[in-house]
Chain A
Amino acid sequence: MTRRACSLALSCLVVCQLGERLDAVQKDSAAATLRVWLSAVNQHAAGAADAPLIDVGSWPVDQAFATINDFVALVRGRRDAQAKFAKTGRASDISLGGTRYSIAQLNELFGLTETEARQSDVNRPLERAVVFYTDLATFEAIVPRASRGSRIGGPPRIPLILDDGRASLSDGSGADRAVLWGFARVLADEVSPQRDAEIALWYHAVAALLEQTRQWGLAAAHDEQGRKMRPTDPDLVFRLGVVHEFLAGPQAQAARQTLSSSSSIRIAVEPELDELRHAEEAFRATVRLSPDWAEARLHFGHVLGALGHDDEAVAELSRASDTLTNPELRYDLQLCLGRSQAAMGDRAEARASYDRAAAAFPLAETPLLALSELARHAGDGPAAIAALERLLNLPENRPDDPWWTYDTSSSRDADLLMTQALAALGGARRP
């Protein structure tokens, strides 16, 4: 009995001693890792797939996550210490995981300039890190390490590849990019309110980029966080509406149907009606925040029409029509207007709207199809045939119908926005 107890105590002692050694190693390791990470962030040239980016990009996701957590904790600690100094006149060290940092050490670690250090401006390293993870998430050449089995974020969320209405599981790199964008947002959300406009622009630019590249799942997560952080920013609320509008559309809904029989996969697309209602709510909020935004009213009108609220849709679209100048968007608007007018039984007005769309883009199919069906529904066979004849006799090598890119039309300035956002964060991209 005694012997056994001793044995247990001994083993415990050995374990404890070993544990202390491991803690020390891990503590040193975490601090060293943070130094390496900060060094890479500070050395990285925005827009370049340089060695620091490639190096940190190869880190396991859990390691990067822990390091970013440490960095954010130190940023907060640095801010608290500064506030305390301002109040008491006494500087205190910042402790993290058993390692103590003086303010001077943190200034050096963060790579602050003298001015930044004097002003206690820790936004710069945060913004550099945002630019760093923006580059990491956008460079296709850099393949992040798989996050499967990671402790981050509950059950695995694997992005789906949507192709021709079918959904298939991605190879997992999409999931890793989702994590990288998540890191960028964690860092962006730590930037102090003095730089709010710049961070809002970054949120807006990333949203547009994800839309433009049709990474709708990533866009949804990004836009939800963007709206949560900035609920009165019309740009970000609008972006979230655009994502739900796409998710209500045939591509996403077809994918949802193909996966609905699978018990092991739950696709993050709600039924059409629910997605439309999410979009409606976001667009209604957008036009309340920005009443003169014609493009938002176009999307709002389209969604209202899809929900069957055609009288309200016609009102919104008519209002947008007064100020919308982009030819493709005006074309989209006429199509949406015609559809709602037809649903209300205003066939003459619907025909006029479709005719305007057809006149603006004579090689586009959609208005001709709409005109044909409108006539067919009214029992006007010859007119239905005439419109269909025009459609079927369009030249084979014709330009794409602008309606086909309606879902990404609001991301047409994505590249410009991203350039502006990175410049605002001090990370102008190299040509």
Chain B
Amino acid sequence: MAQTLSEQILSRAAGRPVSAGEVVTVNVDLVMMHDSLSPSIIRVLHEELGAERVWDPQRVAVVIDHVAPAASVQTAEKQAEVRRWVRAQGIAHLFDVGRGISHPVLVEEGLARPGMVIVGSDSHSTAYGCVGAFGTGMGTTDIALAAATGRTWFRVPETVLVRARGRFRPGVSAKDLALKAARLLRADGATYAAVEWHGVEFLSVMERMTLATLSIEVGAKAGIVPPTGLLQTIPEWLRVEEGARYSRVVEIDLDDLEPQVSAPHTVDNVTDLRDLGRVAVDVVYLGTCTNGHYEDMAAAARILRGRRLAPGVRMLVVPASAQALQMAAEDGTLATLLAAGATIGTPGCGACIGRHMGVLAPGEVCLFTGNRNFRGRMGSPEARIYLASPEVAAATALTGYITHPQEVVEARYAEP
């Protein structure tokens, strides 16, 4: 019987054919944990589960990205503890301060690969779907169990298919597709299900990560882009099968898609930017595993080139990874961003969790390229967060209010 990508991957991991609705125990290929939850994972692993060692030190990755560099003595101490533990366990993959956010880093390092089951202590672990892996987020105890045993359990998810047709218009990108899907599916539209994103094979791996990370914002267990057109070796058993069953199909026409904005305080509170009205902003923040990639910085730089931020607007750029920052430094993207008046933070999660590097004050408005605009997410519960693409972020930085990219591009051509 034809299977969805999730069914194919979980069948291999379970060692038998499985289909949606079954509860299965599977082998995991990779366990990721980050600095924020590692101290508690380590405690559960040793003290509650009584395990002495992780099941396979080659298949555990530890990433210091959530508060990187440390912002306080406590976080510094806990990070030091995590590093000691990594050494004691002989864990092969530690990505320390400045290497970047776990999700792009594990893809860049070739650790996240097509067909794998990857569990991470971060809800945006759906990200690994960008290379055709079944990636999913879990809490402290589930990650401790997976790290101790190399196994976990799942209810095999049904799959919601998002099928894109056509090509983006100028100024429109993967974020707009993802927000449009959130608008149609709503915050709970794929709860307990997986999302497959079809018709997007023209996107780069990191653009696919934009779609995969936002899959959790419609409740999904995994968000998988079929692994076509990648450099990685694709297992021959992993491919979209004719006749696979989808619990719901959503069609989105990219030729007509307008820039989308998610207004406070839920991700699915999405409108066309044109219908938003005039929203003045204090901060433009470009970063995160959703839209802090090289492609995102380059898209912003194309709009900012030769121009300056609007008076009174701050623009923070926090690259998703050191590799993205390096690429931006090498091709002049970084110089363009700096010349426009933006500033650069250490690659990592930055202010996305409201802990450091750009926390918002009461009353402030932020245009954010990230994935959550929950009240209080980036600091004060009295701040307001709008989610949009890097192109909208750059246009907004130039005008000081949430702006359609086309507006500033046209203004550039109209200049004498």
Partners in one complex: no
